[in-house]
Amino acid sequence: MAEITVKPDQALERILTLELVRVTERAAVASAALRGRGDEKAADKAAVDAMRRELNRLPIAGRIVIGEGERDEAPMLFIGEELGTGKGPAVDIAVDPLEGTTLCAKNMPGSIAVMAMAEGGTMLYAPDVYMDKIAIGPGYAQGTIDIDASPADNIHSLAKAKGVKPHEITALILDRPRHAAIIEAVRKTGASVQLILDGDVAGVIDTTNPDETGVDIYLGTGGAPEGVLAAAALRCIGGQMFTRLILDTEEKRERANKMGVSDPKKIYTIHDMVQGDCLFAATGVTTGNLLKGVKYRGEVVETQTVVMRSASGTVRWISAEHRDLSKFHLG
């Protein structure tokens, strides 16, 4: 297959319109072929292989900042891996080839193939630890939410900012025992709670379009790498997100320090996690609040992708019909 070539000053725009979409489409279709089979590892490997193959075709000098883990834990898409043709801009890359592996394996709603790309040296190297998170979509004044405020205070503040009563607010929270107190506190305000089993990147993104998803706010703890990916999406459209790494052991603090985290109590904003021009793309694997899943229709495969760019605030929704199925290497 011919190598992609673009002028350096056009690379990000060109990737935004087509190439970035192709990366997540390939990963989504590869993993969707294994939906409902109960094999999380196989579905994840299919997505990883497809995403890496397509990334290596891009005209970039890319480096994985958020990936499948450290080099000794992940043979591909490991942190620090260099990808692309090398003939283009230096970029940081954050990937989750299959966010919601359990959801895909059980053929449940909300799994996606997702990645973000930013100018080189502008994306947070987040250690693989938990992170406290609170996020809302665009259109609210700064100070509407506060990571140090109680769940009830945040619900009341958001309801006031939105001009509604608390019972008209919906909070999305990962269904985990550790969130029992948060769930109870939110419900006591009269607000609704939507629980998800997995996939907190998609969960945070849901706050960007509450009219469509019904989600106003994300609360709780989840993976720090996923937090950076979600921040990239919010960076593109002006949402708000505040996070804090949970470094509750000496081993975690040492690991974070090696990755450049000098203040273990630092509150990170979107702009702390992703700076400069950034791109974000996600393709649905199984149908969720925001994206339709991959659909096989005879000799045609249908996908739906959302792709965003921070410099312009552009959000594109791309519904595609694929007829050349050989490009997906489905065997």
Q: Are the C-beta atoms of residues 217 and 139 closer than 8 Å to each other?
A: no
- How far apart (Å, rounded) are the C-alpha atoms in residues 299 and 292? 19
Q: Nearest Cα to 112, choosing from 4, 198, 239?
A: 198
Q: How many other C-beta atoms lie within 10 A of the C-beta of residue 141?
A: 7
100 is in an annotated binding site: yes
- How far apart (Å, rounded) are the C-alpha atoms in residues 163 and 143? 16
The 8 Å CB, 24+ separation contacts for 143-146 are 144/240, 145/217, 145/240, 145/242, 146/242
Q: How many other C-beta atoms lie within 10 A of the C-beta of residue 58?
A: 26
208 is in an annotated binding site: no
223 is in an annotated binding site: yes
Sign of the torsion angle spanned by Cα atoms 174, 111, 291, 297: negative
177 is in an annotated binding site: yes
Tell the residue number behind the tokens 């299919």, with chain if given: 46
130 is in an annotated binding site: yes
101 is in an annotated binding site: yes
Phi, psi of 204 (to 5 degrees): -65, -40
198 is in an annotated binding site: yes
226 is in an annotated binding site: yes
Q: Which residues are annotated as a binding site?
A: 44, 68, 96, 99-101, 130, 176-178, 198-200, 223, 226
Q: Which residues are annotated as a binding site for substrate?
A: 99-101, 130, 176-178, 198-200, 223
Q: Which residues are annotated as a binding site for Mn(2+)?
A: 44, 68, 96, 99, 226
